[in-house]
Structure 1
Amino acid sequence: MNSREFTSFAERDPAVKPLLEQLIQPVEVVPSEPYQAAMRELGRCLSRSLLEQHAAALQEKDICLISTVEDADFLAAGVLDGLVESGLPESRLFFQCYWNERVREGGVSITPVIRQYVEPFEQHKAAYIVVKSIISSGCVIRTNLTRALTGAEADSVYILSPVMVEGAQVRLTQEFPPELAARFSYIWFATDAATEGDIVTPGVGGLVYDRLGFDGEVGKNTHTPRIVKQRRRTHFSCAA
Structure 2
Amino acid sequence: MQFITKINSRYYTELADTETKKFLDKLGDKSTSPEAYRSVMFKLGVKLGNSILKSINSQSNVYLACTVEDADFLAKGILTTLEPKVSKLAFACFWNQRFSPFEINELKVAPILKKYQEPVNNDIVQYLIVIKSIISGACVVRTNLTNLIQKIEPEKILIAAPVIYKTAEEKLRSEFNKDIYSKFEFFYFAKDSTRDDQGIVLPGIGGSVYERLGFEGQDEKNRYIPEIVKSRRHKLVQKIYTG
Q: Distance in 2 between matches of 1:116 and 1:24?
A: 29
**What pairs with 1:184-199 in structure 2 (closer than 5 Å)?**
184-195=184-195, 196-199=197-200
Larger mean CA deviation between 96-105 and 36-45 belongs to 96-105
Instruction: Find the counterpart in structure 1 of residue 92 from structure 2.
Output: 96
Q: What is the CA deviation profile of residues 97-139 of structure 1, one whole-angstrom value per residue up to 9, with x for unaligned ones?
A: 0000113335532100001000011453431001100000000
C-alpha contact 1:123 1:152 (8 A) present in aligned 2: no
Question: Which of these residues, 25, 45, 56, is aligned with residue 47 of structure 2?
Answer: 45
Match of 1:226 in 2: 227
Q: Deviations over 1:157-215 (max 9, x none)?
A: 00000000011101101111111100100010011113142321111011110000111
Distance 2:220 2:116 in 1: 18
Residue in structure 1 matching 2:18, options 11, 14, 20: 14
Q: Is the 8 A contact 2:42 2:77 kept in 1?
A: yes
Paired with 2:223 and 2:208, the residues of 1 have a C-alpha distance of 17
8 Å CA contact 2:61–2:86 kept in 1: the answer is: no
The aligned residue for residue 64 of structure 1 is 63
Name the counterpart of 1:4.
10
AA at the equivalent of 1:42: L
Structure 2: distance between partners of 1:197 and 1:175: 23
Distance 2:181 2:232 in 1: 30
Asked if structure 2 preserves the Cα contact closer than 8 Å seen for 1:2 and 1:192, the reply is no
Contact 2:60 2:86 in 1 (8 A): no
Indicate the residue corresponding to 2:3 in structure 1: none
> What is the alpha-carbon root mean square deviation over aligned residues?
1.8
Q: From the superposition, tell whether residues 114 and 123 of structure 1 become closer, same or farther in structure 2 (CA, over 3 Å).
A: farther
2:101 alignment counterpart: 105
Structure-1 separation of matches of 2:8 and 2:134? 16
Secondary structure of 2:202 counterpart: coil
Partner residue, 1:140: 140
Structure 2 residue identity aligned to 1:19? F
The separation in 2 between residues aligned to 1:151 and 1:162, in whole angstroms, is 27
Hey, what's the Cα distance between the residues in 2 that align with 1:126 and 1:149?
A: 13
Deviates more, 1:209-218 or 1:145-154: 145-154
In the alignment, which residue of structure 2 is the partner of 1:114?
Answer: 113
Q: Letter of the 1:235 partner, please give it.
A: L
- Structure 2, unaligned runs of 5 or more: 1-6
After TM superposition, the score normalised by the length of structure 2 is 0.89
Aligned match of 1:30: 32
